[in-house]
Structure 1
Amino acid sequence: MEKEKLKENIMHGTVSFPLANYRWDKDTQFFVKLHWHNETELVFFKTGLFSVNINMREYKISAPAFMFINSGDIHSIVSEEGCRESAIVFDLKMLSFEYFDGIQYKIIRPLLESKMQFPQFVFEKDKIWQDVKKLYESIIGEANNKELASYMKVKSYLYQLIACLYENNSFINADNIEENDIYKIKNVKKVLTFIHNNYSEKISLNKMSDLVGMNTQYFCRYFKKLIGKTLTEYINEIRIEKAAECLIETGDKIIDIAISCGYENIGYFIKRFKEQKHMSPSEYRRQTKSK
């Protein structure tokens, strides 16, 4: 089976050191669409207001705050203009021990198997705030150095971070996560993956409801409640994002891009594009290519 397109396929870091750090310091709105990945992510909201969706739950976050994204979490982030944030994304397997010991048994393996999960948020008022902030800054400070000694330091800081969370009982026991929530996440992944794989084709409500074994009426309410958008709104959002990528990365005619993204009516495509990007496709191409 083809890898789900909803699943992020970017390699974070390198094969020899699977950790990367990212930063957003532009004055425009920060937007990360719904996706998921196997890696663990630690996000630092430095300034501003952020709207976060994690496994179909909405959170409004006022910086400063830290957010953990556990392996497999479906998530998206939207900020107001002028916000500042950064993140580290890493493969937990880099912390696994070849020699099996108590740490591997009680902490590392449960994290790898998702039987234990990182806390969703750490706020400034929390007891561990200063420790987490100091360790995060230490990781960022060494992560871009390509020296083996720096990689060793980063790993040591990650172990210290895990020790801090463990010592303060901050980890979440997966047994406390409701089975119904896990079922919902699996269902949503099915639907979103299908849309990402087939956005260029006609996607019917009947097809989507059959995919998760629901009648169409219930599925409409179910999808809107979990995603915060109707099925049509979400499909259009994905199609417009794909069209925007094509406008930047190719010289194809706008009508050809519209058709390749599932729009047979060019007028409807332009209307939808303007609603989402606040400018026409031709204006978008011109502005982005001139930067």
Structure 2
Amino acid sequence: MMHRKDLKEGVKHGNISFPLACYKWNCNKEFLVKLHWHDEAELVFFQKGQFFVNINMKEYKITAPAFMFINSGDIHSIISGENCQETAVVFNLNMLSFEHFDGIQYHIIRPLIEKKIQFPQFILSKDDILTDIKKIYMKIIKESKHSKLSSFLLVKSYIYQLIALLYESKKFCYFDDVKEEDNYKIANIKKILSYIQHNFSKKISTNDMAKLLGMNPQYFCRYFKKLAGKTSTEYINEIRIEKASELLSETERKILDIALSCGYDNIGYFIKRFKEIKYITPSEYRNQIKKSK
């Protein structure tokens, strides 16, 4: 019997510059995508033929045209008959996250990342939004063939359009009570995130952040994690590593200098945190950026 961790796909989808990749199958032979899972979300377009799909140990028979959404962590497989056509877009949901917190981040993007809401399993031919989804999807496929930043920006905007369409059509599956109105909480979290943005190069204490909201440190820690979906320390490290990534790609400054300017006075700790978030070391990151230019 295979354990879930043994089924995790080892393929990297996209690259550092843009974590999105497109795939295509168009052949007169049967094909099999074996049971696997990945952290990325996946949108599959069944263009022609019949497909047998297994998602989280439930089986479905799908007749094209249809779209299938694979949420992050879903165990899935696909078997097609002969003369079938399908394409897929695989992307990391984190690419949609906003550095500056707002209502969209609070109500839609973060709940998607945290699986409090999920994409619908299927959009079938009987669904009235299938044509609109197809139009957006084809734009994603077209622009993803290019490696220009403008193309990346367009692809990202099309994914937001897709999410907006699903949201307006009430197609998302809700797994938690995501409130529509909570401006007070959003204002509080924006105050803290703004503070972090302006002070990431300095020492940031829990006490200082708690004082901004008039809370004791223990309550603040629970409050921040509930609203932001991560601890304040995790968020600070993410901001610092993103700033370090910019400096690594845009300047020739020494790695030690970059670490110090991003709030790390210990180079070993900086490298450890960078690798945890980017999955490679700072020097490897810089080398990959140079090769991609």
TM over 0.5: yes
- Which aligned pairs between 1:30-179 and structure 2 lie closer than 5 A? 30-175=31-176
What secondary structure does 1:25 align onto?
strand
Q: Partner amino acid for 1:162?
A: I
For residue 81 of structure 1, report the CA deviation from its aligned partner.
1.3
**Distance (Å, rounded) in 2 between the aligned partners of 1:174 and 1:45:** 27
Moved segments of 4+, more than 4 Å: none
In structure 2, give the amino acid aligned to 1:52: V
Q: Structure 2, unaligned stretches of length 5 or more? A: 178-293
d(CA) in 1 for partners of 2:80, 2:159: 27
Give the TM-score normalised by structure 2: 0.58
**TM-score for both structures, normalised by structure 1:** 0.59
Deviations, residues 104-130 of structure 1 (Å, cap 9, x unaligned): 000000000000000000012212111
| Partners of 1:54 and 1:61 in 2: CA distance | 12
**Whole-angstrom distance in 1 between the partners of 2:105 and 2:79:** 36
What residue identity is the alignment partner of 1:169? K
CA drift of 1:5 comes to: 3.1
Show CA shifts across 1:10-41 (max 9, x none): 10000110000000012111101110000000
Deviation at 1:175, TM superposition (A): 4.3
Q: How does 1:169-248 map to 2 (within 5 A)?
A: 169-175=170-176
Deviations 1:124-179 (A, max 9, x none): 22121111000000000000101110000000000000000001110001249xxx
Give the secondary structure class of the aligned counterpart of 1:59: strand
Q: Deviations over 1:62-92 (max 9, x none)?
A: 1110000000000000010111100000000
Structure 1: gaps (5+ residues): 177-291
1:27 aligned partner: 28
Give identity over the alignment, percent.
62
